[in-house]
Structure 1
Amino acid sequence: MTAHSVPLFLWLVIALCCAAACHATLAALAFPGLRGTAGTPRVGDMPGPVSVLKPLCGIEPRLYSNLQTFCTQSHPSYQLLFGVASADDPAAGVVERLMRAFPNHDIELVIDGTAHGSNRKVANLINLAARAKHDVIVIADSDIAVEPDYLVRVTEPLADADVGVVTCLYRARRVGGFWSRIGALFIDEWFAPSVHVANVLGQNRFGFGATLALRRDTLAKVGGFVALRDCLADDYWLAEHARAHGLRTVLSDVVVATDVIERDLAALWSRETRWLRTIRSLNPLGFACLCLTFTTPWLLTSALLGLGFEHGTDPAQTIADTIVDLSTSLGLSARLLLHARSARSWRAFWRDLPLIPLRDLLMWLQWLSASFGSSVVWRGVRIPLDAPGQRYDANASDSQ
């Protein structure tokens, strides 16, 4: 680079590289890892018996073992409700097998195909909620596995009347080969750290389908599951509706395990692009900034910029060269630290290290793809991003 000045657009690129490096640093420092913590919940502070709602659709590789973890809970009183839309759904047979294995548990299989709106999962939840016995409700995805103290710990914050929803993060558990490893990195090294960054910065506008715990009166206050029947991101909107009533969202220290089962690039691309496009529909500005969180392309850009500057007497180039060198070093160190904190072992650290550039580049391409399109396909149903029911009026809900 022989010019005796640094063009404005290069300063802009340098600023973006620095922003990406700073985000990587914050993510590495804020992220505690995905092992969870050993909680010591006080049984006296538990808000009472729990009804667990598990909407099911189809068979999954570890469905039985995942559902079984909900049958070994240390909570003294809970009900398990599993819902399918049809008796022909193979998940129904899995639940029946579970009921035979745990005959003394309060387990019920609800078969009801009533469609209350465009979101089939929410329709399932509406049908399940009608059979819930208890005033504390936990909604949990079918593909998660939990520890025996899960129900005790995730419901404990609900003893505080100011808490509306408790949610929790998840770590990936790959089922399959190469592409499931790539998918696991998406969850463990991008999604979960990004949530912790938001939490550290005081942002709590989230709600994850892995777990949503709330009281029955909170659900009634927001209009019940019916208010979500046409929502795309029903988990997010349930928590958002509660926040509209001044109730807090608590990010639990519980970390559950979720299965990553995609066996090819097409399936992985479809799921992750759907997630990103959903984020775009919820927070367009935040989605636009996501490109800064895919670290490797920015590290490569800053490294190439550093090679392009000539060492001479031009102060502007000297300053720019120093900045990009520091940015590259900081970003690279932070990315390695984040990878180390996410890895389950040193063997996993070295095994997955060469995949990081591919993972970041793939997310960049998915972000570009998710920038376009007006709908997503979820469980075979095409749902528009601007589906009705996502705009919420708390006053209107109160009047119902």
Structure 2
Amino acid sequence: MRWLWRLLIILLYGERLLKHLAVVRFFRRAQPPAEVDPGLVSIMQPILSGDPALAACLEANLKARSGYQRQFIWLIDDDDEPARQICTDLMGRYPSVAITLVALPAPPPEHNPKLVKLIAGSARARGTVICVLDDDTMLPDHALENCLPYLAQHGAGLVFGLPYYVSYDNLWSGLVATFVNSSSLMTYIPFSLLHEPVTINGMFYAIRRTTLEAVGGFAGLEQLVADDFAVAERLRHHGYRLVQTPVRHAIRTTVSGPRHYLRLMQRWLIFPRESLMRHLPPHELVLIYSLVGLPTFLPWMALAVSVGRPGQRSLWLFLAYAGLSYLIFAYHNRSYLNSATPWRWSWMVPLVQILLPAQFVSALLAPRRINWRGHTMQIERGGNLRLVHRRDQ
């Protein structure tokens, strides 16, 4: 059994250390040369009210510094009066910023509201580069200058960034934020160094207008719930590469309580179940399971050994693994995520590692129904959706 013990140690610590080294290497890579000013950049933001931080997030992007000329296209529902009020107030406060407000009727029940808005927004976008930006996402200063040069690389069709959360207003927001901040870099980056990305972070990405037109725009994707994977698949089908950039962008989402937390985590885990896992070829699925799926259960493995084989050696195995994970997180938080996770909340790191496997299993077994800011949607097998209940305004 000694060989099994050694194999377990190599598996537990090797996975953490190799992914950490991949992250360090990624951020030490030389950046591509600065691109000539691309001209107008159109930033499309599908907006839905319901989060208390919505106005602050939208305003942060208006205030973010950039040397590029920008056009903001805000896409709201025509019956979403809170969103309309927030947008018109900000437009009045920032009259020098080019903002186009578009109010759209409710889409058909089987259509993804975000993709419907992106179709409408791209018809109004005048930029040579089109960015998609979620309404809870805040770009840092000069994000475009640091991101768009990657579009000049050979075969690049779309570039995207790395998310981290700054929501620590309460316990449940903190749990979500710590989950993302402790897993985002260790998930996206190692995969991108071994294989070209197979999907994107849909919270922020950029694409040239000519490329978007060449692949048919967003039309025809409306019935798919995982808009990020749908866009990624269309680009890859046409021979374009998806490029992971080192641009990190903050996200602020208020999680009101335990039910909201469980719904949000379930939605995040159901999406890949009905998109990536049902549509990718076997060799790419093997890589995803090896880098993301199986490592999810390593904390449980370490805990099971500690509980199942009581003894000093077993206890030290678990404590050392938890300590290593914590130190790696602390380094990433300070070096790459602008210390987004306050020190007083860092005790959540081991907690989310223990909770995640249970949530992963729950999402695999859960009914394919999600809630997005009051809208209830049924996800069909394979990723199509149907609106079950539209929220009351």
Q: Aligned in 2, Cα 1:280/1:90: closer, same or farther, shift over 3 Å?
A: same
- Larger CA deviation: 259-268 vs 331-340: 331-340
Contact kept, 8 Å, 2:73 with 2:121, in 1: the verdict is: yes
Residue 78 of structure 1 deviates from its aligned partner by 1.7
Match in the other structure for 1:375: 368
The alpha-carbon distance between structure 1 residues 258 and 87, as it changes in their structure 2 partners (threshold 3 A), is same
Whether the 8 Å contact between 1:295 and 1:331 is mirrored in structure 2 is: no
Determine which structure has more spread, i.e. the larger CA radius of gyration.
1
Q: 1:77 deviation in Å?
A: 1.5
Relative to structure 1, the CA distance from residue 372 to residue 253 in structure 2 (aligned partners, 3 Å threshold; closer, same or farther) is same
> Are the counterparts in 1 of residues 20 and 328 from structure 2 also a CA contact under 8 Å?
yes
Which structure 2 residues correspond to residues 24-103 of structure 1 after superposition, within 5 A? 24-32=16-24, 42-44=34-36, 46-72=37-63, 73-103=65-95
Q: 1:228 aligns with which of 216, 221, 225?
A: 221
2:15 partner amino acid: H
Aligned counterpart, 1:341 = 331
2:151 maps to 158
**TM alignment of 1:204-219, pairs within 5 A:** 204-219=197-212
Q: Spell out structure 1 runs of 4+ moving beyond 4 A.
A: 13-18, 32-41, 324-330, 344-350, 387-390
Contact kept, 8 Å, 1:37 with 1:253, in 2: the verdict is no
Say if 2:263 is the partner of 1:263: no
Q: 1:348 to 1:251 in 2, by over 3 A?
A: closer
Shift of 1:111: 0.6
Q: Which residue of 2 aligns with 1:384?
A: 379
Paired amino acid for 1:331: Y
Tell me the alpha carbon deviations over residues 336-385 of structure 1, each in whole angstroms, 9 at most, x when there is no partner: 22221244499967533433332122212111101113523142131324
User: Structure 1 CA distance, aligned partners of 2:376 and 2:26?
Assistant: 32
Q: Which amino acid aligns with 1:219?
A: L
Residues 36, 255 of structure 1: 8 Å contact kept: no
- Give the TM-score normalised by the residue count of structure 2: 0.82
When residues 148 and 340 of structure 1 are mapped into structure 2, their CA distance, relative to the original with a 3 A threshold, is: closer
The reply to whether residue 299 of structure 1 matches residue 289 of structure 2 is no
2:359 counterpart of 1:366: yes
Instruction: Tell me if the contact between 1:143 and 1:258 (Cα under 8 Å) persists in the aligned partners.
Output: yes
Cα offset for 1:114? 5.1
Question: How big is the shift at 1:157?
Answer: 2.0
SS of the equivalent of 1:148 reads: coil
| Whole-Å separation in 1 of the counterparts to 2:364 and 2:346 | 28
Corresponding residue number in structure 2 for 1:272: 265
Sequence identity, in percent?
Answer: 24
Matching of residues 127-206 of structure 1 within 5 Å: 127-160=120-153, 162-206=155-199
SS of 2:200 mapped into structure 1:
coil
The answer to whether the 8 A contact 1:83-1:128 is kept is: yes
Residues 105 and 349 of structure 1: CA distance in aligned 2, closer, same or farther (over 3 Å): closer
Q: How far apart are the structure 2 equivalents of 1:222 and 1:16? A: 46
Equivalent runs, 1:8-23 vs 2, <5 Å: 18-23=10-15
When normalised by structure 1's length, the TM-score is 0.80
